[in-house]
Amino acid sequence: MLYPNIIYIDTLIIINLYVNFFLIKACGAFLHRKISTARCVLGAAAGGASSLVILLPSLPLTLSSTIKLALGAVLVLIVFGRERFVKNALVFFVINVIFAGVMLILSLFLSPLSMIYNNGTVYFDISFLALLSFTAAAYLVIRVLRYFLDVKFNADRIYSLTFQYEDVSRKLQAFADSGNTLTDFFTGKPVIICDKSTCASLFPEFDINNLELVKGLRLLPYSTINGSGIIPVFKPDLITIDGKQIDALIGISKENINKNGVNAIFSPKLLF
């Protein structure tokens, strides 16, 4: 079936803004990363603007692919920054592929779409209701995949966690718990919850029952279904989980975690 070679620029940009906003949110959900609305909007705007390459004369496949990868990399930098760039970029591109696959399958089964493909960019004439349904289906696929990955790494396995702070080294037994979503809102780094008896001794002036500012520590507000409060956190010089170096903060629990030899709890996302 042939489709008319007509592109409405406003439709092109609006659809790409929406799709890129969805892809950024899906990427954040997959990575367990909280992304500010401002960064999402900026990233979506960059993605929407990049869709205009479809209006250029047809470029060689190598050149058009390079341009798309470069534009995608810029979007990832805008949204996530330079930290863990390669990992974030790979996840973003994989989610793009998943989304494109879901869109194609649903369009074949439900209704044909009028599509124009040029320079690595797709333009399709689609109703907002259909687009909303397709993106919801793609998001569900991504969330299900993320759920099964979390379950896989949330088995009753004990991990060896080691951290070094100044001249002191601590070796802990840690458990991966997807319920630990505590993240530092200043740096975006995940927080590993550690037993107070293991960590508090690193700061002789610190009193877990009288939270006051101590050199090397800062207080991080948190909120859970059981209530809210503040937890002291610090940045070790080095953290490894089963020998893999990770980038995170450590929070000192007010209660002793020590259960079945476990004295630290971390988010499974640190394993990816």
Model pLDDT for residues 59-77, shown as the tens digit of each residue:
787 887 787 788 888 888 8
Confidence of residue 32 (pLDDT cuts 50, 70, 90): low
Tell me the per-residue pLDDT of 229-247, one tens digit each, with 9 for 90 and over.
Answer: 888 888 888 988 888 888 8
CB 143 within 8 A of CB 137: no
| Rounded-to-integer distance, Cα 180 and Cα 167, Å | 28
Q: Which two tokens stand for residue 71?
A: 């534009």
pLDDT for 103 beyond 80: no
pLDDT value for 132: 72
| Rounded-to-integer distance, Cα 192 and Cα 217, Å | 14
DSSP summary character for residue 228 = E
Residues in CB range of 44: below 8 A, 6 or more apart: 17, 18, 20, 21, 24
Confidence of residue 146 (pLDDT cuts 50, 70, 90): low
| Rounded-to-integer distance, Cα 31 and Cα 242, Å | 20
Confidence of residue 3 (pLDDT cuts 50, 70, 90): very low
pLDDT value for 22: 81
pLDDT for 212 beyond 60: yes
Least confident segment among 2-6, 24-28, 215-219 = 2-6
Q: What are all long-range contacts of 251-254, with beta carbons under 8 Å and residues at least 24 apart? A: 251/182, 251/191, 251/192, 251/193, 251/194, 251/220, 252/194, 252/196, 252/199, 252/200, 252/206, 252/208, 252/217, 253/193, 253/194, 253/195, 253/196, 254/196, 254/208, 254/209, 254/229
Task: Give the ranges where 51-127 is alpha helix by DSSP (H).
Answer: 61-80, 85-110
Total residue length of the chain:
272
Arithmetic mean of pLDDT, 118-124 = 62
pLDDT for 2 beyond 50: no
Mean pLDDT of the chain: 76
Give the other-Cβ count within 10 Å of 171's Cβ. Answer: 11
Confidence of residue 1 (pLDDT cuts 50, 70, 90): very low
Across the strands, what pairs with 124?
A: 115
| Rounded-to-integer distance, Cα 178 and Cα 153, Å | 9
Arithmetic mean of pLDDT, 254-267 = 77
